[in-house]
Structure 1
């Protein structure tokens, strides 16, 4: 059986995002088209379906690192803030984006909340493993592994 660890992250995340968007398991909030993904960003994302990509990435991150909390996810999605002539400093990613995505993934049944943070549910693990299996079948270079 193929798992998340056996396929490239970019191919897996795009396949998961496509599935989340088509099956309407996750809905993009009204404010998503106006918001930046963190204080270190200058503009909003150019991709109109960025919400589904971020939800897919968070789902993969919970699968790989779980249990994870808000602070570790904010640090993962953070980056360097440009301070003009001053040196750059690290800034965390948007907590509202991550929190809303986590709530939507919980409602979809893919992750659950425990005392230590959020973990993947059996339904979420099955969804990610099935998606990674289909991605592996589509890429001929991965068929031999």
Structure 2
């Protein structure tokens, strides 16, 4: 899908391409930069206490960074608490009913701090974090690359 707006980059923005592909491409871009290193214990960390095992994808941390950046593209100011609800899951209690649980706060906080260090995210004056123009440029450039491949 191509945007009706015809400006720079033929009008292709991050919202005009498939979001799953966008997250994968941005994750690879962040990994290739080499500026972000996942903390050592994140090889064993679960993304929520409702999960039984840690993620099986070895690059899951870069995918989470890209996903956080994409979410901040759409929502003006979002904090760690909102992202905990977004990345939560259903916890299996055996024979009892399932309940929704929140995501791992430490993973989200560290990821947002590293996005801040890259200059893609900054703190919002009303609380939470917001995407910078540099972060928007990265997402839009990757969207143009995806659009050219299609």
Q: Say whether the fold is shared (TM-score over 0.5).
A: yes
Which of residues 131, 139, 145 is equivalent to 1:120? 131
1:1-145 counterparts in 2 under 5 A?
Answer: 1-116=11-126, 117-139=128-150
> Hey, what's the Cα distance between the residues in 2 that align with 1:80 and 1:70?
19
Q: Unaligned regions of 5+ residues in structure 1, if any?
A: 140-145
Please state how far the C-alpha of 1:27 moved relative to its aligned partner. Answer: 1.4
Query: CA offset at residue 33 of structure 1?
Result: 0.3
Aligned residues: 139
RMSD of aligned residue pairs (Cα, Å): 0.8
Greater share of residues in strand = 1
User: Partner of 2:57: helix, strand, or coil?
Assistant: coil
1:82 CA displacement? 0.5
TM-score by length of 2: 0.90
- Runs of 4 or more off by more than 2 Å in structure 1? none
